[in-house]
Each structure stands twice: as structure tokens, then as C-alpha cells.
Amino acid sequence: MSNNTKLDLPEIVPQHIAIIMDGNGRWARRRGLPRLAGHRAGTENLRRVIEACVEFGVKYLTIYAFSTENWTRPRDEVSGLMRIFDDVFDRELAELDRQGAQLRHIGRLDGLNDSLREKVRNGIAMTKDNDRLVLNVAFNYGSRDEIVHAIQEMIKDGLDSEEVDEDLVSSYLFTAQSPDPDLVIRTSGEQRTSNFLLWQSAYSEWIFPDVYWPDFGRDELLAAIQEFGSRERRYGGLVPQQT
Ligand code: IPE
Ligand code: IPE
Ligand code: MG
């Protein structure tokens, strides 16, 4: 019996899962708590989800933590979120390292306060040789901003128009070191991209579990991977008839 059978995993486990961690505010409101309590709760389950990815053999996990548009939220919420992210680094970095996860950042580090920026840089340096899981944290990330940034860099590098093809564009994105996601999960019931991995998710499977992010754990991840296993990916072509 293969390991996948024992775990009830499909034959093909997504190599790269990307998650839009949505619904913290509504999770808190349902309990009569302030929104920031929801954001805190939404960091408690992260460790379980990372552990489950390692257990299931997922090699890349990309999590959407803060978008370029989230700066438009009330000042108290933004500063509260920054504090929470700061605490998460203090609390989780050693554990992340122990799990064999390599931390990477996608998005813009400028715009963050000095302390947080330093913590991100230290975390990346500390875990750079780990190879069980790559954890891309999308923080101050927007897909349109990423594409604009890529175009600016291509122009700065003096490329000729004939040199520009899809592989080259991919290599200028913040995600250049990761394959495209096979599966994108958005929790909370919302069904939109909200400026996440627009280029990279062209042929990803999308799943929208009906739970708020703090309630998403190992079982919900397993269910999403099982659903992924039942999808037929066609990439615009035709699947050969099964006999
Ligand atoms: C996601 O939860 C976390 C961030 C965007 C930082 P929300 O804060 O968007 O929660 P809802 O969508 O209001 O419930
Ligand atoms: C997307 O969620 C961003 C993150 C989860 C970090 P939002 O809650 O910001 O997206 P909208 O506003 O519902 O589209
Ligand atoms: Mg939201």
C-alpha cells in the first residue's frame, strides 16, 4: 500500500498550493470579537497547515497574507496586522526551520516598517538551505503591481521586444523561483482573485471551501487535495479517451 493510499491522498498531489487566507474578520464578527482577534486566530492554524503540507508531500505553499490594496483599511487594522505579523515571526520562525521549510517573500518589502523588514530578511537567510517545503509569503503583494514591476525591470535591462516571451515574463515575476500553482484555494466563500497570482494561475484549479480562514486546518486541506485529484486538467487541449 503506497503512502498516498494510507492517507487517502490522490495519485497526483499538487506540487504547489496557493491560498488566499480570507474570512478572518467575519470569523471574529460571528463570535462578537474585534476583527483583530480574527487576524490573530488566523495565524494559529498556519502551523498546522504548513505541517500538513509537509506530511502530504506538497513542495510549494504560497500564502496571501496582505495585499497592496489592504493598506486602504482603517489605520488601526493595518497597524494591528503589522504587529500580528511581527509576532508570528517571533513565534513561528524556529518551528518553520525545524519543519524544513524555506521562507521566501513575494511582493514589496519597502512599505513595511524596519523591524518587520529585518525579520523577514533574517527569516529568509536562516531557512535558505531548507528543502522540504518552500513557503512563499505574499505580503504587500499585488499581482498587477508584480507585472508592472516586471515590465519596468525588463525595460531597465534593455531587452528587445523579440526577446520577450512567456518564459521570460515568468522569470521577471516575484515567483520566478517557483512553478505555477496547481491549486489555488480561497477560504470564506468569496470567489474572486483579489489581485493574486493573475499570471501564474492561468491554468490552476480553483477551490472555494466554505469556511473562514481560522477554521481551515489539516482536514480541510486534505479535502481540497482530494477534490483536486478528481479534476481533469486540459490546458485548452483534449484529454486522450480512456479505454
Ligand atoms: C483576510 O481576512 C486577511 C487579510 C486580508 C489581511 P479579512 O480581513 O479579509 O476577513 P473578512 O473578509 O473581512 O472576513
Ligand atoms: C484578499 O482578501 C487579500 C488577502 C487575503 C490577504 P481581501 O479580503 O482583501 O479581498 P476582497 O477585498 O474581499 O476582494
Ligand atoms: Mg476579506
Catalytic residue at 24? no
CA–centroid distance, residue 190 to ligand 3 (Å) = 8
Distance of CA 142 to the CA centre of its chain: 12
Ligand nearest to the CA of 28: 1
pLDDT, residue 7, reads: 81
Low-confidence ranges of the chain (pLDDT < 70): 1-3, 5, 242-243
pLDDT, residue 85, reads: 97
pLDDT, residue 243, reads: 55
Catalytic residue selected from 22, 45, 140, 182: 22
Ligand nearest to the CA of 190: 2
CA–centroid distance, residue 22 to ligand 1 (Å) = 5
CA–centroid distance, residue 236 to ligand 1 (Å) = 33
pLDDT, residue 86, reads: 96
Catalytic residue selected from 4, 70, 86, 215: 70
pLDDT, residue 2, reads: 58
Question: Ligand 2 pocket, 193 CB below 6 A?
Answer: no
Is the separation of the CB atoms in 215 and 26 below 8 Å? no
Domains and CATH numbers, the chain: 3-142+180-226 (3.40.1180.10)
Question: Ligand 2 pocket, 63 CB below 6 A?
Answer: no
CA–centroid distance, residue 72 to ligand 3 (Å) = 13
Query: Model confidence over 4-45: pLDDT tens digits?
Result: 767 899 999 999 999 999 999 999 999 999 999 999 999 999
Ligand nearest to the CA of 192: 2
pLDDT, residue 239, reads: 82
What's the whole-model pTM score?
A: 0.96
